[in-house]
Amino acid sequence: MDPKPPPSSAEEPVPDKPLDSDCCGQGCQPCVFDIYEQNLRIWQTRQIQGGNSELATRMSSDNFTSCSLVSIDALTDSTFLYTFSLPPGQYLRSNPGQHLILNALSHDKHSVSRQYSIYHVKDDCTAFSVIIKLYSEGVVSRIISQWSFGIQCRWRGPMGDFVHTPLKFSKLFLLGMGTGIVPLLSVIRSILNDEMDETFLHLVCGFRQMTDVFPLDELKVFSAFWNFKLTLCLSRDKTAPSFRPGQIICDQRIDLDLIKSPKLNLPDDLV
């Protein structure tokens, strides 16, 4: 006899939450609650992939959602990649270039909010990453510098209405400094990952020195595409090795003279 086909995503029942008494309290790895969380995420992913996302809740731009910090990766001395998972049953869908709003309580117990561009959303839409530069005197930076794994943070979004239409323009010139490149990265990634989109991209970004540049690995991946050109302007480095010839301009701030100079080779109608 043929095995029973798996239920369609619409029919698949929500996994049952274990009772407190189902946990033996011996610290098992995984615990029944870990298995439940995992099954719930699989169920949620199937709902979204099966087009039944109304059964899962989309992250709201009006109300804050408590998300759990699952990893912190240092990109430079002061810039970090923070990855959050959404609560079970919730998902985030965003367009390239959009941002989220973080709300937190400051040390003197005031509610403070700051915007952060979405760097990446996991394929199953249940987790997202942001890249944040911490300022020693920044109100929210000081809160973030105390974050540890598992902390719950309040986020809402996505916000921002930038829309890229493939091949509306044959060339896109993108200009950003420091963390200002984060929204550009998701736009670039979406264009390069779309085989039908042959828009030529030129990213010009400014950092103080080579050790401040991030995310180096992804910029190298982008640089391997025929339709991507990178120009890094380092204002405080005298020399630095390029990963492709002509990519780095040292001892140079981004200013109008540079934009107009043949070094960038921008179209006349743009400059």
Q: Which residues bind ligand FAD (CB under 6 A)?
A: 99, 114-117, 130-133, 135, 137-141, 179, 182
Q: Is 58 helix (H, G, I), strand (E, B) or coil?
A: strand
Residue sitting closest to ligand FAD (CB): 138
- What is the Cβ-side half-sphere exposure of residue 128, based on CA atoms within 13 angstroms? 32
Least distance (Å) from ligand FAD to the CB of residue 111?
A: 13
Pick the closer one to ligand FAD by CB: 117 or 126.
117
Do residues 143 and 104 touch, judged by C-beta distance below 8 A?
yes
Least distance (Å) from ligand FAD to the CB of residue 160?
A: 7
Least distance (Å) from ligand FAD to the CB of residue 181?
A: 9
Do residues 176 and 202 touch, judged by C-beta distance below 8 A?
no
Question: Which DSSP symbol is given to 206?
Answer: E
Pick the closer one to ligand FAD by CB: 38 or 106.
106
Least distance (Å) from ligand FAD to the CB of residue 120?
A: 12
Pick the closer one to ligand FAD by CB: 116 or 228.
116
End-to-end CA distance of the chain: 71
Q: How many CB atoms are closer than 10 A to CB 60?
A: 13
216-223 and 182-192 helices, crossing angle to 10°: 30
Pick the closer one to ligand FAD by CB: 134 or 240.
134
Pick the closer one to ligand FAD by CB: 204 or 264.
204
Least distance (Å) from ligand FAD to the CB of residue 62?
A: 17
CA distance 63 to 54: 17
Pick the closer one to ligand FAD by CB: 182 or 264.
182
CA distance 255 to 270: 14
Least distance (Å) from ligand FAD to the CB of residue 201?
A: 19
Helices (H), the chain: 32-49, 139-144, 182-192, 216-223, 256-260
Give the containing element (helix H, strand E) for 155: strand 152-159
